[in-house]
Structure 1
Amino acid sequence: MLPGTAPALTAPDLPEMTAVEETIADLWATGVSATGHPVQHARPRLDRCGALTAAALRTAPVNRPVVVGGLVTHRQRPPTAGGVLFISLEDETGLIDVVCPPHVWQRRRRTALQNAGLLVHGTVERRGGATNLRATRLAPLTLAPGTTGRDFR
């Protein structure tokens, strides 16, 4: 054994993790967090910009312009959809289905593909009991580093 290379006998004092750091650590280590959803840490900022939750979107009036924010769980662009991109967002209250028309997809392609969190402006659609958001604008929503979506084409 070399002098000075023995492990320390006591653990060093470290500062306590913040709620955001704890959520990120949980997600990194296990893929889930018992302490909360990452979007809940951004909720005060989302509330200030008037963003609805997934739960509130389900009862929002049809054709009303709204804003939502969440983590991207899936992106799908099937060849049979005529250039439409389908995005699934998740917030602390549930899932949001976003329909991104070709003109929005072409204009905001990089934003749609490179961000784990999105702020989506759009109008509410409801058909057959399902609520969708037809996107008119996409913007990045920074939530937590290291979060990725599961992308399928």
Structure 2
Amino acid sequence: GFPESHAASFALLAYASAYLKVYYLAEYTTAMLNNFPLGFYSPATLIKDAQRHGLHFRHVDVNRSDHFFTIEDGEVRMGLKYVKGLRKEVAEAIVQGRNPTCREGAESGEFGMRNSESSDSNHSPFTSVEDLVRRVPLINKKEIRALSLAGALNFERSVHRREALWRSELAIRPDVFSEQRTADNEHVSEDVAAAGFIRPMTEWQAMESDLRSMAVTIGRHPMAFLREGLKKRGVLSAIETHTLQKKDVVTVAGTVIVRQRPSTANSVVFITMEDETGHSNFIVMPDIFERFRRVITHNSFLLIKGIAEEGGMIKALYFEPIGGVMAEIGSHDFH
């Protein structure tokens, strides 16, 4: 009857997904990210899980990225699709602008299958922010700023994000390409950048900029930056929770990726947290949830104290927000 067929259908999906993830990780991950929203986990979680399984990602780049994620030499190139505020038609115009002889939309589809662009004789890369603005007239000032903050305007690592943002402000001025712009003004902007007046972002700042501008990062996990200080406080990582004994009292920190309250669970809440080592799972009884409701529902980064249970679960007793982390991680939450 229905239960058996329903179970068989889910079993087939689970087996097929597991097979693809094990043997075709790059293709599987690319397809998942290109077809989002779908499934249970956010793109940020999918990327970190793939990285822990050995997949390498390449940063978003106006000279390399398509609208969708693509595969280059076995690694995944981030797509322009994830830059917040960038319209699809502008992303496609960027790809068309650097590949003028390519048919629009022909480079890659939602499954991201194409070869590295470095061998494409039609490839005509953008050389500067000004060049991009000139060749892609559809782009507006909000979009050029978004690309700057996402790190997509580094031009073969010759320009860092803050410098790109500075140059983008110059490039989007109404008179940027007019003959009235004096040579003195050009020399001033060049001298400021050359003098090191604009300092590059730190690794932490770049990570936060990634999360704000794209909701994903291919750099270090946010928790990795805090690990040394957490260790000194005796706070465990996710992987360390896998070997706990029942009734061990522990404190774990991470970013919340799932908050569940199934209708059949009598108001019990289940939380999954993530860090650079993997996932940790918590059960929250109704009275504890009500006591810490606002902390649980309004913070992306939490420190949880609890007692280890069977099956790798931890019964949460105390919650505390982790300060100093400004960006948020996407999570799957009950409503």
TM-score by length of 1: 0.86
Which of the pair is proportionally richer in helix? 2
1:66-85 superposed matches below 5 A: 66-85=250-269
1:51 aligns with 2:235: yes
CA distance in 1, matches of 2:290, 2:214: 35
Q: Which residue of 2 aligns with 1:150?
A: 332
> Equivalent residue for 1:93?
277
Aligned mates of 1:24, 1:43 — CA distance in 2? 17
Segment drifting more, 14-23 vs 62-71: 14-23
The yes-or-no answer on 1:136 pairing with 2:305 is no
**Aligned pairs (5 A) from 1:4-23:** 6-7=175-176, 9=186, 10=189, 12=193, 13-23=197-207
CA distance in 1, matches of 2:315, 2:243: 15
Structure 2 residue 245 is matched with structure 1 residue 61: yes
Structure 1 gap ranges (5+): none
Deviation per CA, 1:6-47: give whole Å up to 9, x if none: 346446442121121111122233333222000111112211
**Deviation per residue, 1:82-105 (Å, 9 max, x gap):** 121111100110011110111210
Q: Which has the higher strand share?
A: 1
CA drift at 1:5: 6.0
- Find the aligned partners of 2:303 and 2:316 in 1 and give their Cα distance: 10
Distance in structure 1 (CA, Å) of the matches to 2:214 and 2:264: 36
Amino acid at match of 1:39: M
Task: With a CA cutoff of 8 Å and minimum separation of 6, indicate the structure with the bigger relative contact order.
Answer: 1
Tell which deviates more after alignment, 106-115 or 30-39: 30-39
Secondary structure of 1:122's counterpart equals strand
| Distance in 1 (alpha carbons) for counterparts of 2:229 and 2:286 | 29
In structure 2, runs of 5+ residues without a counterpart are: 1-172, 177-184
Give the match for residue 104 of structure 2: none
- Matched position secondary structure for 1:145: coil
Once the two structures are superposed, residues 29-85 of structure 1 have per-residue CA deviations (whole angstroms, 9 ceiling, x without a partner) of 333322200011111221122111111110122210000000011111122111211
Q: 2:286 aligns with which of 98, 102, 116?
A: 102
| Identity among equivalent pairs (%) | 30
Instruction: Give the AA of the match of 2:273.
Output: L
| Mapped partners of 2:263, 2:310: distance in 1 | 24
Using the alignment, how far apart are the partners of 2:240 and 2:325 within structure 1?
A: 23
2-structure distance, mates of 1:134, 1:83:
14
Q: Quick one: distance in 2 between partners of 1:98 and 1:143?
A: 23
Query: For the pair shown, which has the larger CA radius of gyration, 1 or 2?
Result: 2
Q: Distance in 1 between matches of 2:241 and 2:255?
A: 16
* Count of equivalent residues: 147
